[in-house]
Amino acid sequence: MLNLGKLGRVMNKPTMKVKLVAAVMMVLMITSAFARQTKTYTLQPDDLIRIQVYRTSSIASPDPIVADIPVGKDGNISAPFAGIIRAVGKTTAQLEEDLAREYTKRLQLKNPIVSVTITRYRTVRASVGGSVQRPGTYEIRPGDSLISLLNTGGGIIPDVSDLRRATLKHSGSDERIPIDLYAMLNQADTSQNYEIQDGDELMIPQGVNNKILVSGSIQQPGFYPYREPMTLADAIALAHGEIQTHTMFSQTLIIREKVGEPGEYLRIRANYVRFIRNGDSSQNVVLQPGDIIYFPETNTPDLNRISALANVAFIIDRFGGSLFGINIFSR
């Protein structure tokens, strides 16, 4: 038996209230989405529908007409006492109207009540591959979205998947539609959450430069996963902060490969001390995948040596090597 007193005490906890409200909202959203999908879904070949006709007392059998009928490959159904009727591309409500007209005409029924329901959707298969937990081909429900397919495949592999460069390919087409999964999963942008079609292929590539390299005079230098948005302060926190009396935050250097110019690098200086003391947010540089952050011990870092080592670092990172714990930029 439900203990209302206990429930009341639990509900008085703000955290539990938030969780319960969130769960209820999620259920309502799913239910509402399914209802809309059912109303707007158009019939396709191989769907199985149930036709029920009431108010049949004017014919020999007063019992309701009930029949389970598949939608044929040609898009038609063979409806009882009505013959061949076009079904593909129509909603169940539209088909109900068509059948009501036919039964009124053919059987002389007066105001027949016709119900059409989908008892089994056609089999839809789509694939998800690349950097996901369970790549493969899956059966999905008609009307399911791209996110549904991704979840069926177990979701992305954290810190490995390149969410910005996912693609969707339709059956019979060579075109690969760019998909920004980062915006979809992290910014609630549903503009690309397309309805999945039979034979679709969703591909999420593995990131190549989805890391940053923190080096120099810092507690724990090494490669760290890049998570957008990411700033210089985030990189310092990941590397467990400065080495007291040694780290020169005022001369922080960020090495960034130039777009479209492999092997060429930008040198971005940042005075992190100014950010800490004066709140100058321009010094808390927004990082990009593949950035190398160098914290010197002196006011005069060897920039030429840093640039040379940057090439080595990118090559090692690209081929999966690890430099964790190695201060490659130390003097």
The answer to whether 200 and 149 have CB atoms below 8 angstroms apart is yes
Q: What is the pTM of this model?
A: 0.49
Fold observed for domain 48-120: wza like fold (3.30.1950)
Positions of the chain with pLDDT lower than 70, given as ranges: 1-39, 56-62, 208-209, 298-331
Q: What is the pLDDT of residue 31?
A: 42
The class that CATH gives domain 211-318 is alpha beta
Q: What is the pLDDT of residues 164-222, one digit of tens each?
A: 889 999 998 999 999 999 889 888 889 999 999 999 999 998 876 678 899 999 999 98
Which CATH architecture fits 124-204? Roll (3.10)
Q: What is the pLDDT of residue 20?
A: 47
Q: What is the pLDDT of residue 67?
A: 92
Q: What is the pLDDT of residue 72?
A: 94
Q: What is the pLDDT of residue 310?
A: 55
Q: What is the pLDDT of residue 270?
A: 96
